[in-house]
């Protein structure tokens, strides 16, 4: 086994911390992290509950490989019912927190109830206690991290916490760990704030000593690392250029949404690309990109560490932002940049710093601002609403100003914290929210790239590229190139990516390994570490089971096939220019086939036969 077989249950209402045995029958069916924690959530939480009530639970979970020597095995996830969507939420993060939780001897922490005052959870190996958090409530995630590290005087202590944005009620606040890694999407940090839980500190000294077959594990993880090192993407491209290398690719193929998805293609894309991040700037001759960085145990090291031009207006009088910190990833650069029409690399890096400092999702935030900008230009929002800010597409100063308002929920920042769905409803323009199930689209336009549209429409946590990254095949030719504007074969492609991703997310590995690894590289590592049958076929069945379990939770929460849809703009407003001119997403050609191969009814519900086959 490589599960610790121990769960920490924290009842915030009672103030108690208790240890209980992991349900090993469930572990064999759902693996760990995303899958296994979702199983606990579906068993213990009413799908119809208010996500921000004491009835909801929040689980921080590792996978069986988390903390081991497998490459990228530092992941952990936060699983809950999400306040942005009302659907099941699972946000995955790297850094070092997940491995440390494992070293302390815990597979997962289940938080239930609600504390009547701010608290944080302190874990030192087997010992866990809730501590008064009133002195850190109201502090940013960065300040909280500094204060708690100073308190315990242990630089190896790892901290996951929320910032001020979550406290202010922003519906897409995340949980920040190690200062700039984030369980970012769907508002999992907002749930944490609703429980008056500010932070989790963890120090573990027990290591990982329970690999099922150590010889086989050494062999399979070594082989996996060799594959990553020799692969051009994971061995060279990602460490050198990071995810931001996609900015020019996706713009080049006619797949980059811009201006609240009103347009496809952004003239300023090259100014905010990976190539631009490496160029020396005029003021000090240094590039935006300082270095790359790796999470625990990662042999890819795609992370970006950046600096902002000290003379830039956004940080001119703010020396606290003059150091190097977590830089722009592709999704953030797109949402904060192309979608708002802004190509100022320093401004975007500053806003990205704020996303980390106070814990909010840059994809949803950027998209929400973009929707607000479209409403401002249409007159639905005025300077009276924004407090005098001229919130037009491309306005850098306005963007920085509203970001600073969002952090503390002041003025128009409170409105922006609603996310685009509620914001657009509030201002009478619901059709301008670019969302699926209430969550904003990522950085690939489904008009120009058909399969990703089907993945967005069916993603269990709302629009999300990471649930089934068909871009790998449709644009990047990994593992094989498929035609981006074709719909043939896309239902099968989407299902395959969705099921495989559920396995990776549940093992404790990073999804970026799959640019080089297939399931035949991954399954042997799981099989060597864990007792039981972890053949390729069984792993894929586990992935399919997890997908269907999430679907059933959402179904019980009230979601139907009517929620598997794309925005009218993407189905009816053809791309106006560029290589994908004239395209719309043809979801109707793909969705029935997708339901069929999933073993779902035409109404999108897993049939009795499918549930029986997957033991659901």
**Which residues of this protein are in contact with other proteins, per CB under 8 A?**
231-233, 236-238, 240-246, 248-249, 252-254, 270, 274-276, 279, 302, 329-331, 465-466, 469, 471-472, 475-478, 481, 484, 511-512, 515, 578-580
- What is the distance between the alpha carbons of residues 416 and 17, in angstroms, rounded to a whole number? 36
Q: How far is the CB of 315 from other proteins (least distance, A)?
A: 25
Q: How far is the CB of 478 from other proteins (least distance, A)?
A: 6
Q: How far is the CB of 483 from other proteins (least distance, A)?
A: 8
Alpha helices in 199-344 (DSSP H): 214-230, 232, 238-241, 246-252, 274-277, 330-333
Q: How far is the CB of 452 from other proteins (least distance, A)?
A: 11
Compare residues 133 and 326 and give the one whose CB is closer to other proteins.
326
User: What are the angstrom distances between the C-alpha of 513 and each of 298, 476, 507, 615?
Assistant: 10, 15, 12, 29
197 SS3 class: strand
Q: What is the 3-state secondary structure (H, E, C) of 455-501?
A: HHHHCECECCCCCCCCHHHHCCCCCCCCCCCCCCCHHHHHHHHHHHH
Compare residues 476 and 571 and give the one whose CB is closer to other proteins.
476
Q: How far is the CB of 513 from other proteins (least distance, A)?
A: 11
Strand partners for 81:
88
Compare residues 465 and 567 and give the one whose CB is closer to other proteins.
465
User: What are the angstrom distances between the C-alpha of 30 and each of 35, 64, 291, 408, 534?
Assistant: 5, 11, 37, 39, 11
Q: How far is the CB of 270 from other proteins (least distance, A)?
A: 6
Compare residues 59 and 253 and give the one whose CB is closer to other proteins.
253
- What is the distance between the alpha carbons of residues 176 and 579, in angstroms, rounded to a whole number? 39
Compare residues 66 and 244 and give the one whose CB is closer to other proteins.
244
Compare residues 471 and 614 and give the one whose CB is closer to other proteins.
471
Compare residues 288 and 314 and give the one whose CB is closer to other proteins.
288
* Residue 5 C-alpha from the chain's centroid: 26
Give exposure, 57-84, as e/b (b: 16+ Cβ within 10 Å): bbbbbbbbbbbbbbbbbbbbbbbbbbbb
Q: What is the DSSP letter of 293?
A: E
Tokens of 193: 């704030």
Compare residues 202 and 276 and give the one whose CB is closer to other proteins.
276
- What is the distance between the alpha carbons of residues 94 and 298, in angstroms, rounded to a whole number? 9
- What is the distance between the alpha carbons of residues 77 and 505, in angstroms, rounded to a whole number? 8
Q: Is the peptide bond before 479 cis (omega within 30 degrees of 0)?
A: yes
Q: How far is the CB of 409 from other proteins (least distance, A)?
A: 30
- What is the distance between the alpha carbons of residues 74 and 67, in angstroms, rounded to a whole number? 6
Compare residues 456 and 534 and give the one whose CB is closer to other proteins.
456
- What is the distance between the alpha carbons of residues 403 and 397, in angstroms, rounded to a whole number? 10
Compare residues 247 and 405 and give the one whose CB is closer to other proteins.
247
- What is the distance between the alpha carbons of residues 224 and 519, in angstroms, rounded to a whole number? 11
Residue carrying structure tokens 């959530």: 41
Q: How far is the CB of 331 from other proteins (least distance, A)?
A: 8
Q: How far is the CB of 515 from other proteins (least distance, A)?
A: 4
Q: How far is the CB of 37 from other proteins (least distance, A)?
A: 22
Q: How far is the CB of 458 from other proteins (least distance, A)?
A: 18
Compare residues 532 and 578 and give the one whose CB is closer to other proteins.
578
């Amino acid at each position: 086994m490589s599960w610790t077989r121990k769960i920490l249950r924290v009842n915030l209402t009672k103030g108690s911390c208790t240890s209980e045995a992991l349900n090993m029958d469930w572990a064999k069916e759902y693996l760990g992290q995303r899958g296994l924690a979702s199983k606990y959530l579906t068993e213990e939480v009413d799908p119809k509950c208010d996500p921000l009530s004491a009835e909801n639970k929040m689980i921080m979970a590792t996978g069986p490989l988390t903390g081991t020597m497998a490459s990228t095995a530092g992941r952990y996830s936060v699983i809950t019912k999400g306040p942005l969507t009302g659907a099941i939420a699972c946000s995955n993060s790297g850094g070092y927190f997940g491995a440390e939780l494992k070293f302390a001897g815990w597979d997962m922490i289940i938080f239930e109830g609600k504390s009547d005052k701010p608290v944080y959870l302190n874990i030192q190996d087997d010992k866990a206690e809730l501590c008064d958090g009133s002195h850190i409530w109201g502090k940013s995630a960065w300040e909280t991290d500094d204060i708690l590290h100073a308190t315990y005087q242990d630089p190896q202590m790892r901290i996951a916490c929320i910032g001020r944005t979550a406290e202010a009620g922003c519906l897409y606040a995340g949980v920040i760990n190690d200062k700039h890694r984030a369980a970012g999407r769907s508002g999992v940090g907002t749930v944490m704030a609703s429980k008056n839980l500010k932070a989790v500190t963890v120090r573990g000294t027990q290591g990982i000593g329970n690999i099922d077959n150590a010889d086989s594990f050494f062999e399979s993880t070594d082989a996996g690392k060799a594959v990553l090192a020799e692969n051009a993407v994971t061995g060279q491209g990602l460490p050198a250029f990071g995810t931001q290398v996609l900015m020019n690719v996706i713009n080049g193929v006619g797949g980059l949404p811009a201006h609240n998805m009103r347009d496809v293609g952004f003239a300023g894309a090259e100014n905010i690309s990976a190539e631009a991040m490496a160029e020396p700037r005029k003021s000090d001759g240094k590039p935006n990109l300082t270095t790359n960085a790796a999470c625990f145990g990662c042999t890819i090291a795609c992370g970006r560490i950046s600096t902002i031009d000290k003379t830039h207006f956004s940080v001119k009088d703010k020396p606290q932002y003059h150091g190097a910190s977590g830089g722009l990833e592709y999704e953030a650069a797109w949402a904060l940049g192309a979608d708002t029409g802004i190509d100022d690399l320093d401004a975007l890096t500053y806003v990205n710093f704020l996303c980390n400092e106070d814990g909010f999702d840059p994809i949803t935030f950027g998209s929400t601002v973009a929707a607000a900008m479209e409403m401002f230009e249409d007159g639905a929002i005025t300077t009276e609403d924004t407090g005098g800010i001229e919130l037009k597409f491309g306005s850098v100063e306005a963007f920085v100003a509203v970001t600073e308002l969002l952090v503390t929920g002041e003025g128009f920042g409170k409105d922006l914290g609603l996310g685009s769905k509620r914001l657009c409803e509030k201002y009478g323009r619901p059709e301008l929210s670019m969302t699926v199930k209430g969550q904003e689209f990522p950085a690939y336009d489904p008009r120009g790239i058909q399969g990703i549209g089907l993945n967005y429409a069916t993603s269990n946590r709302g629009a999300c590229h990471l649930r089934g990254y068909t871009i790998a095949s449709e644009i990047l030719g990994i593992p094989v190139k498929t035609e981006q504007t074709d719909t043939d074969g896309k239902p099968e492609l989407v299902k395959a990516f969705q099921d495989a991703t559920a396995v990776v997310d549940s093992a404790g590995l990073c999804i970026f390994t799959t640019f080089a690894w297939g399931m035949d590289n991954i399954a042997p590592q799981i099989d060597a570490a864990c007792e039981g049958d972890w053949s390729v076929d069984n792993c894929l069945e586990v992935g399919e089971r997890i997908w269907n379990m999430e679907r059933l939770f959402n179904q019980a929460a009230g979601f139907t096939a009517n929620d598997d849809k794309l925005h009218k703009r993407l189905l009816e407003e053809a791309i106006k220019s560029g290589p994908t001119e004239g395209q719309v997403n043809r979801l109707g050609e793909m969705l029935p086939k997708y339901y069929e191969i999933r073993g779902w009814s035409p109404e999108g519900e897993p049939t009795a036969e499918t549930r029986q086959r997957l033991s659901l």
